[in-house]
Structure 1
Amino acid sequence: MTETSNEPVPEVEEADLDTMTATKETLEDYTLRFAPRSYRKWSTRVVGISALGGIAYLADFAIGANIGIAYGTTNALWGILIFAVVIMATGFPVAYYSARYNIDLDLVTRGSGFGYYGSVVTNVIFATFTFIFFALEGSIMAQGLQLGLGIPVWLGYAASTLIIFPLVIYGMKVLSTLQVWTTPLWLILMVAPFVYLVVSHPDSVSTFFAYQGEDGNGATNIGSILLAAGVCLSLIAQIAEQNDYLRFMPPKTEANKRSWWTWLFLAGPGWVIFGAIKQIVGLFLAVYLIANVANGAGIANQPVHQFLEIYKNFLPNWLALTLAVCLVVISQIKINVTNAYSGSLAWTNSFTRVTKHYPGRLVFLGFNLLIALILMEANMFDFLNTILGFYANCGMAWVVVVASDIVFNKYLLKLSPKVPEFRRGMLYNFNPVGFGSMLIAAGVSILAFFGLLGSALTPYSPLVAIVLGLVLPPIIAVATKGKYYLRRTDDGIDLPMFDELGNPSGEHLLCHVCHHEYERPDMLKSAVHDGFICSLCLSTDKTGEHVLPAQT
């Protein structure tokens, strides 16, 4: 897994062992730190396709089916549209910052109003997202294994979890290859049955638009639309998974700028275009099953049955079953390697910052998978709408606050530093602008979700999270005059941070602690010697002796 220097590493004191372990284990995927130019050798196309491979999940089909069955086609479609617009608007600024400055969303969050420790809570929110959706995809795979191979569901849960672990050990190098090579087959298996259904059963289109939901009361109303949108908006944290890939984008130059912007858009906020299409298709297939298949209502929200029943219309039963199971397995692997990878990064990042101890990313890979397995065994699939509707309030509060800080505080009000800062000592531990805004937005919207602010406001909880997350950051930034963003403006290094094209510098400096060379954006001057220290060694500095003092 690791990628180490050819130079011998001198003996270190026992206190430095955590730092040395962290350094060696994170050189492969640059956990907790800036992704250096020397590692980012992939083209914009490979990075973009790898990122889009992470949205191969079948959960969208289940989500689309569930909200359509609950609220009717028209309300579901309007809800999906709201979801797409919100994701596009909030996803673009955060995706741009990850791709341009080569840092993941946690590092962007630190410098966008949350502070060095303030973003820990958002890391927990993101980690929760990864194991919820890992469990959802694992449940779908277990359904496929039971249907195709007769494997008991409980054993399918375990199999869908264990198969992921070895694939995630080696980080981006293996994940990029896996995503690129499996995407064409996945597209064929997913698109073919839908195209066949529309062409061979044109009446299914009118049936789809006329569907009023399971209780027949699916008339258009704003409450149902917002409830449907709330379920879909639980996917807002997907942009953080996209950013875990986008941080490996190559430097933007005159030669590649068109490709750079294209893949940034498609693999960043553009993921929602594909997600929305899948939700609509999932609802379309569900309505067809309800109208045309015996016991269709009982299986309409299960993606494996959706595709199996359509395949059976034009293929022998054995081949239809084989292809349906293959689609489920490929989809589950493509998304859950990303869920497991991103979740392990999020847990590792939070734990290391809080404890100054690095136990290894694989520990948290196992931890994330264990939580997901417990959720699967608890049959979370049956409570999908409630789980996702609740989670959406937290996810929206986080991402909307970060996007608001970038757009309003960095670019319009210029109270937040335009260049994202993430290094310890350069930031205050907590910044009320982002941290406070997120807690208020999430807290009030959760109260609304559970009806504690009145039943009339319950459907509007997603809107509460969005509005508060949008307006509070500039209000608090103005009130505090932006003084809690930067603890220091000088990191003690006289070399420029960026090259002539505005890309992070590729200049290398030697870390005095771990004796590895890192690029300029990852380095700071040490407070106790004339040398430099990398951001990760600074994170694991238990005494804090290397941390530069605050500037007065």
Structure 2
Amino acid sequence: MSQDVQAPAAAPPAKANETLEDYTLRFAPRSYRKWSTGVVATSALGGIAYLADFAIGANIGISYGTVNALWGIGVFAVVIFLSGFPLAFYAARYNLDLDLITRGSGFGYYGSVVTNIIFATFTFIFFALEGSIMAQGLELGLGLPLWAGYALSTVIIFPLVVYGMSLLSKLQLWTTPLWLILMVAPFVYLLLSHPESVQTFFAYQGEEGQGTPSLGAVFLAAGVCLSLIAQIAEQIDYLRFMPPKTPENSRRWWTAVVLAGPGWVIFGAAKQVVGLFLAVYLLANVAGASEFANEPVRQFVVIYNDILPGWLALTLAVILVVISQIKINVTNAYSGSLAWTNSFTRVTKYYPGRLVFLGVNLVIALILMEANMFDFLNTILGFYANCGMAWVVVVATDIAINKYVLGLSPKQPEFRRGMIYDVNPVGFVSMIVSAGVSILAFFGALGSTLASYSPLVAIGLAFVLPPILAIATKGKYYLRRPDDGIDAPMLDELGNPSGETLHCQVCDQDFERPDMTASGTGTGHVCSLCLSTDRSGDHVLPAAP
């Protein structure tokens, strides 16, 4: 599977099976993107079927009260939507994952390795969280010990992720209708049969007795929710397979991009509110509910028991949990394998294949589950949010401000080795500073008052620093050279990436124009993956004079 390039004269490396590898390190070519806008959007939204939102909503509500939790969820939704829109647009328009976008949006070829590790961390944290919820369901429904449930919820994911988008799109489409019915039914039942639960919900003050809005509590709640900010990267792993935008499909294209891109937060925020609502209902009506009100499995079992016979209620709750966790954890495992492979290949110049790191991600997630991470969820998510926010907001700011307002960052994304600098201080330094300062604030190093506002610190610095550094450096660290030595246009007449194919002299395969550059040897063309694995550097184009 290796595509290791020792020197120009070396034998061509073996071609990766792109059906399995799913264009891990590449632009997603037009020839592969055969899905409709609706299929891509449904597949992307299927990945947000997770029940962690229920647990997050319940946890922040129990801690800070309904009013503060709702305001915190509102802050979370606004930040996610605004920061996610430019990223989703770039992914769908130029058919790149978030790592490839990050490279050319202020970070550089090696600089984005750090953000890739942040994203990979997101995928195994949330895989572990979702796997823990699934194990709780299996224990409750089948009597399976938690440790065995953790293992089972991990092992069953591997074969489902092997074939990437080709299988995941079918899985998400087939399971979504049943999942929607099972999830929405209990909430609708409570609203219709127990209308008084709405008043109880809004009156709930939480463990700290905060019935009135508190700015500190709102931002602490928002900080936990904002740990989900890196979810946009998982949405993008689907959106990069959007078909070309044309006058005929323009409305459908934009609808799919907005709903399946930043619009995921509408559904995520709704699930957090429902999770809080169910938790408050249990606390008010079920003895001993304080022990399990934040567990989605128990929430659904109790409500189903009010509607159905006990055996059927338990069965449906387990089915809901299993479907939900499979739908999201195939996405977590898939996206994590992409992120790890990207980082490893750039650093080592060796391509082991995506499936190797699929296994690595699953092992890390299993270790976290066995360590019972569910018990310290708020702390983990609150800490992680600072890193995730710093990365995503910096990239979004570079696209929205540095590209479209200041004009210092090239509008067309660039990701190929040799075309961009190894490290661009604009994004890299902005992220390190904003994440570092907000983490210090989170742990109280900057005072107890500022600790509550660490999400605001991360967002503020990540928004302000990129334009300042772009102006200070005059944008000179974005492009190492302005052209790739190929005369054929990069885009077609509608502004979509060109579908013209060129031949790679190293791997002896044809790839579409956006994935290719002229070879530094002065003869022929070379694809982006062969450039990434070129240890001699002979195929890398020289910097512009």
Helix, strand or coil: the match of 2:404? helix
1:3-22 alignment, distance < 5 Å: 20-21=13-14
The equivalent of 1:235 in structure 2 is 228
| 1:469 aligned onto 2:462 | yes
**8 Å contact 1:447–1:453 — kept in the other structure?**
yes
| 1:207 aligned onto 2:200 | yes
**8 Å contact 2:7–2:538 — kept in the other structure?**
no
**8 Å contact 1:22–1:360 — kept in the other structure?**
no
Equivalent of 1:427 in 420, 437, 445? 420
| 1:383 aligned onto 2:369 | no
| 1:507 aligned onto 2:507 | no
1:81-100 alignment, distance < 5 Å: 81-100=74-93
Task: Give the drift of 1:214.
Answer: 2.2
Residues in 2 aligned to 1:216 and 1:289: alpha-carbon distance in whole angstroms: 18
**8 Å contact 2:345–2:532 — kept in the other structure?**
yes
1:61-460 alignment, distance < 5 Å: 61-460=54-453
Give the aligned residue type for 1:238.
Q
Task: Give the drift of 1:359.
Answer: 1.4
With over 3 angstroms needed to count, the CA separation of the structure-2 counterparts of 1:22 and 1:140, relative to structure 1, is farther
**8 Å contact 2:28–2:240 — kept in the other structure?**
yes
Residues in 2 aligned to 1:269 and 1:21: alpha-carbon distance in whole angstroms: 38
With over 3 angstroms needed to count, the CA separation of the structure-2 counterparts of 1:253 and 1:451, relative to structure 1, is same
With over 3 angstroms needed to count, the CA separation of the structure-2 counterparts of 1:475 and 1:256, relative to structure 1, is same
5+ residue gaps in structure 2?
none
Give the aligned residue type for 2:519.
S
Task: Give the drift of 1:281.
Answer: 0.1
With over 3 angstroms needed to count, the CA separation of the structure-2 counterparts of 1:122 and 1:488, relative to structure 1, is same
Helix, strand or coil: the match of 1:533? strand
**8 Å contact 1:241–1:339 — kept in the other structure?**
yes
Task: Give the drift of 1:219.
Answer: 3.1
With over 3 angstroms needed to count, the CA separation of the structure-2 counterparts of 1:187 and 1:496, relative to structure 1, is same
| 1:50 aligned onto 2:77 | no
Residues in 2 aligned to 1:35 and 1:14: alpha-carbon distance in whole angstroms: 26
**8 Å contact 1:115–1:431 — kept in the other structure?**
yes
Residues in 2 aligned to 1:390 and 1:180: alpha-carbon distance in whole angstroms: 34
Residues in 2 aligned to 1:22 and 1:103: alpha-carbon distance in whole angstroms: 21
Give the aligned residue type for 2:16.
T
Residues in 2 aligned to 1:13 and 1:466: alpha-carbon distance in whole angstroms: 44
**Which 10-residue stretch deviates more, 469-478 or 214-223?**
214-223
Residues in 1 aligned to 2:394 and 2:8: alpha-carbon distance in whole angstroms: 41
**8 Å contact 2:8–2:506 — kept in the other structure?**
no
Q: Percent identity?
A: 77
Q: How many pairs does the alignment contain?
A: 543
Helix, strand or coil: the match of 2:502? strand
Task: Give the drift of 1:472.
Answer: 0.3
Residues in 2 aligned to 1:270 and 1:264: alpha-carbon distance in whole angstroms: 8
With over 3 angstroms needed to count, the CA separation of the structure-2 counterparts of 1:21 and 1:305, relative to structure 1, is farther
Task: Give the drift of 1:16.
Answer: 5.9
**8 Å contact 2:6–2:535 — kept in the other structure?**
no
Residues in 1 aligned to 2:172 and 2:530: alpha-carbon distance in whole angstroms: 32
Task: Give the drift of 1:454.
Answer: 0.8
Residues in 1 aligned to 2:153 and 2:136: alpha-carbon distance in whole angstroms: 11
| 1:491 aligned onto 2:484 | yes
Task: Give the drift of 1:297.
Answer: 1.1
5+ residue gaps in structure 1?
3-8
Helix, strand or coil: the match of 1:470? helix
Give the aligned residue type for 1:265.
V
**8 Å contact 2:401–2:467 — kept in the other structure?**
yes
Task: Provide the TM-score with structure 1 as the length reference.
Answer: 0.97
Residues in 1 aligned to 2:8 and 2:182: alpha-carbon distance in whole angstroms: 54
With over 3 angstroms needed to count, the CA separation of the structure-2 counterparts of 1:14 and 1:152, relative to structure 1, is farther
Give the aligned residue type for 1:173.
S
Task: Give the drift of 1:530.
Answer: 1.5
- Give per-residue Cα distances to partners, 1:316-349, cap 9 Å, x unaligned: 0000000000000000000000000000000000
Helix, strand or coil: the match of 1:437? helix
Task: Give the drift of 1:295.
Answer: 1.0
Residues in 1 aligned to 2:14 and 2:125: alpha-carbon distance in whole angstroms: 30
**8 Å contact 2:21–2:354 — kept in the other structure?**
no
Residues in 1 aligned to 2:264 and 2:182: alpha-carbon distance in whole angstroms: 19
Residues in 2 aligned to 1:244 and 1:208: alpha-carbon distance in whole angstroms: 37
Residues in 2 aligned to 1:270 and 1:336: alpha-carbon distance in whole angstroms: 20
- Give per-residue Cα distances to partners, 1:339-392, cap 9 Å, x unaligned: 000000000000000000111211110100000000000000000000000000
Helix, strand or coil: the match of 2:17? helix
Residues in 1 aligned to 2:160 and 2:8: alpha-carbon distance in whole angstroms: 32
**8 Å contact 1:23–1:536 — kept in the other structure?**
no
Give the aligned residue type for 2:391.
W
With over 3 angstroms needed to count, the CA separation of the structure-2 counterparts of 1:105 and 1:16, relative to structure 1, is farther
**Which 10-residue stretch deviates more, 101-110 or 359-368?**
359-368
With over 3 angstroms needed to count, the CA separation of the structure-2 counterparts of 1:350 and 1:367, relative to structure 1, is same
Task: Give the drift of 1:220.
Answer: 1.6
Helix, strand or coil: the match of 2:13? helix
With over 3 angstroms needed to count, the CA separation of the structure-2 counterparts of 1:382 and 1:21, relative to structure 1, is farther
Give the aligned residue type for 2:340.
W
Residues in 1 aligned to 2:338 and 2:113: alpha-carbon distance in whole angstroms: 12
Residues in 2 aligned to 1:77 and 1:130: alpha-carbon distance in whole angstroms: 26
- Give per-residue Cα distances to partners, 1:95-138, cap 9 Å, x unaligned: 00000000000000000000000000000000000000000000
**8 Å contact 1:25–1:360 — kept in the other structure?**
no
| 1:533 aligned onto 2:540 | no
**Which 10-residue stretch deviates more, 529-538 or 421-430?**
529-538
The equivalent of 1:6 in structure 2 is none
With over 3 angstroms needed to count, the CA separation of the structure-2 counterparts of 1:527 and 1:381, relative to structure 1, is same
Give the aligned residue type for 1:68.
G
Task: Give the drift of 1:23.
Answer: 3.0
**8 Å contact 1:21–1:360 — kept in the other structure?**
no
The equivalent of 1:518 in structure 2 is 511
Give the aligned residue type for 1:247.
R
